[in-house]
Amino acid sequence: MQFKLDTVALSTINTNDGYYRITTDTSIEDLGVSIEVVGLLNPPFLSRQPAGYRIVTGFRRINACKSIGCSKIEARILEPNGMDFECVKLAVTDNSFQRPLNLIEISRSVGLIRSVIKDDGILLKAATQLGLPINLSILKKAETLFHLPGSIQGGVLSGSISLSMALRLAQLDADDAVAVAEIFNTFNLSLNKQREILTLTQEIAARDDISIQELLAGKEIQNLMVAETTDKAEKTRMLRQYLKRRRFPEITRAETAFVKRLKKLTLGANVQLIPPKNFEGSNYTLQLCFENLADLKDRKTTLDNLIQNQDLANILRK
């Protein structure tokens, strides 16, 4: 590869151009200290542009140099002569050969490679040579992730959104996907709860002929998101409860009425009355817990009294 080692003014480097950025690490404090002590051991690669230089490798190194007051740095200058793939290789390997890449870094790498290689077979071969996963399915998922909005990528990076859920969000309209991602990032939900909430919002939106974004922008959910006096676990419970009420109003009403009547029975901790699933059907389950015969006799007394209880008869008639 042809390049020229030269000293360039930091002011001529466009640090806002992140086209070739792979790393998600933006920390520079330790790197700045290292550069102050031993100097810039690995000069970055820059691509000459009409109005200055584009960074190909060394985003953190350049920002660290700026942070410690450098005005000039030594850099390896690439001429803009149709070397896009060479620049891509430099950007990817500068990261992939140094450390394991996270999902977002892999997606950025695949996105860069895809910008210059359209054939899947050649893409896989190039990715393998550049230290990326040697599996076309993984690369395809990474490519999908690359095109998702920043809030979803940020959620994947922080761990609040799984890759599988990010791929489901990719199937939504962009505005809807961002709205759902905001919920996931705010509430830090488990994967199962994310699936539940996404399914509920999709079903409610489809039934009511509104967008998911419109649903999640509603007053009830927005008030819940900004509430400062409620912990996340309680917020999650309230969110799920609200969406279930919206999605299944009849079941919710039946459940509320059942709980109200159940309290009148005063069954105690060792006796549970379990209603039919979704209150469909008429088969109830009575669960008795006991440790010995004395306990069982006591439960029998409870059962005999329960059979005569008018509140139970009211429940069974509903």
Residue 81 has what pLDDT?
62
Average pLDDT, the chain: 90
205-235 burial, b for 16+ CB within 10 Å, e for fewer?
Answer: beeeeebbbebbeeeebeebeeeeeeeeeeb
pTM for the structure as a whole: 0.77
Residue 318 has what pLDDT?
64
Tokens in use for 209?
Answer: 């002929």
57 vs 277, higher pLDDT: 57
Average pLDDT over residues 171-197: 94
Rounded to whole angstroms, how far apart are CA atoms 197 and 203?
10
pLDDT at position 191 over 60 = yes
Residue 277 has what pLDDT?
81
Tokens in use for 129?
Answer: 């040579």
Closest CA to 198 of 171, 230, 158, 225: 171
